[in-house]
Amino acid sequence: MTLGAELGTFDHLPLDQDREISSIVPNRMNLSGLLNDRQLEAATTLDGPLLIIAGAGSGKTRTITYRIAYMLAQGIPQSHILALTFTNKAAREMTERVREVTGKKLTNLTTSTFHAFGVKILHEQIHTLGYRPNFSIYDQVDKTEMIRTVARELSVSRDSIDLFALSALFSGIKTKRTTWESANDQYRELYEEYQGHLKAYNAVDFDDLIMLPVEIFESSPEALEHYRERYRYIMVDEYQDIDERQYALVSALAGRRRAAPRARAAPGPGLGLAVHHLDGRRSRLRGAALRRPL
């Protein structure tokens, strides 16, 4: 089901008023007094994949908030719900809105950025790839210094390389956005040594926060099944912004299970909910694909 521009807008309530209505969230009929018809359909449709397409100011975040509240009211455990977005601020605001509406402590609800979710998986499963649990996460400065160190060890002249260009190349190779070809193949050994040094230092870089969880899911069916059983209702905000690696992560989790009441398995792949912003211009600039199957 796709909800288009007809999603409409909300008459926004202050947080204290939201708190007063928390007791009536469980009932679909009561929600109908808070949401318009299309928003209500999105908030209460739990069976099968759902795509919301709407513009700015149409109440997308509020719809997600009430959808999560409705799930909790139906007895779905917090631990079965995964809501992914792109900024820490958006993740915090989503959690806070659900808390205000429901009045619940959300200790087991996962609202997260893609990368923070990747860190969560790595803390639990990185040992399956031969890392120790107390791994380090290298930022851009650390990554550049590591490339410099590896280049020195391979007797590569500092004047012959651009560290920042190499960092971008290595990121592209790792995330499969770039391939080895005649123009860059001379850096292949440097890349392989860089990867080996990361492993030796029990460290990961920013790209690994998505790529390694995908590798874990591909190499360990048991780990993948564990997370599929845990996160039975998956929601992605700003769905148009996801790239190939993020899509691989989410689609692996969704597998062949569609979100269904009590998370009963159903045929066909699909996410529980994807929210697609109508303005995809920034997605094109980031290289994100605008068309993703649910």
For every residue of 141-179, DSSP letters joined together read: HHHHHHHHHHHHHTT--GGG--HHHHHHHHHHHHTTSS-
pLDDT at position 270 is: 38
Element (H, E) at 137: strand 136-138
Give CA 282 to chain center in angstroms.
18
Residue partners of 33: CB distance under 8 A and separation at least 6: none
Give the global pTM. Answer: 0.81
Separation CA 8–CA 54 (nearest Å): 8
From first to last of its 294 residues, the chain has per-residue pLDDT tens of 444 434 443 333 333 334 334 444 555 547 777 888 888 888 998 888 888 887 777 788 888 999 999 999 999 999 999 999 999 999 999 999 999 999 999 999 999 999 999 999 999 999 999 999 999 999 999 999 999 999 999 999 888 899 999 999 999 999 999 999 999 999 999 999 999 999 999 999 999 999 999 999 999 999 999 999 999 999 998 888 889 999 999 999 988 554 433 333 333 333 567 776 555 443 333 444 445 555
Separation CA 85–CA 24 (nearest Å): 27
Nearest 5°: the CA angle 214, 204, 202 is: 115
pLDDT at position 177 is: 93
φ, ψ at 78 (rounded to 5°): -55, -40
Q: Out of 3.40.50.300, 3.40.50.10240, 3.40.50.150, 3.90.740.10, select the CATH number for domain 2-123+222-286.
A: 3.40.50.300
Which residue has tokens 């002249």?
157
The dihedral built from the CA positions of residue 38, 248, 203 and 182, taken in this order, carries a sign that is: negative
| 265 CB burial (10 A radius; 0-12, 13-18, 19+) | exposed
pLDDT at position 257 is: 52
Q: Pick from 108, 83, 110, 114: which is nearest to 212 by CA?
A: 114
Q: Are 242 and 80 in contact (CB under 8 A)?
A: no
Q: Pick from 12, 13, 61, 67: which is nearest to 41 by CA?
A: 67
Nearest 5°: the CA angle 235, 291, 276 is: 40
Q: Are 58 and 85 in contact (CB under 8 A)?
A: no
Separation CA 55–CA 6 (nearest Å): 10
- Domain ranges (residues) in the chain: 2-123+222-286, 136-201
Residue partners of 196: CB distance under 8 A and separation at least 6: none
Q: What is the DSSP letter of 51?
A: E
Q: Pick from 195, 88, 201, 219: which is nearest to 134 by CA?
A: 201
Q: What is the DSSP letter of 50?
A: -
Q: Which two tokens mark 216?
A: 């874990």
φ, ψ at 26 (rounded to 5°): -60, -25
Beta bridge partners of 111: 83
Separation CA 256–CA 270 (nearest Å): 7
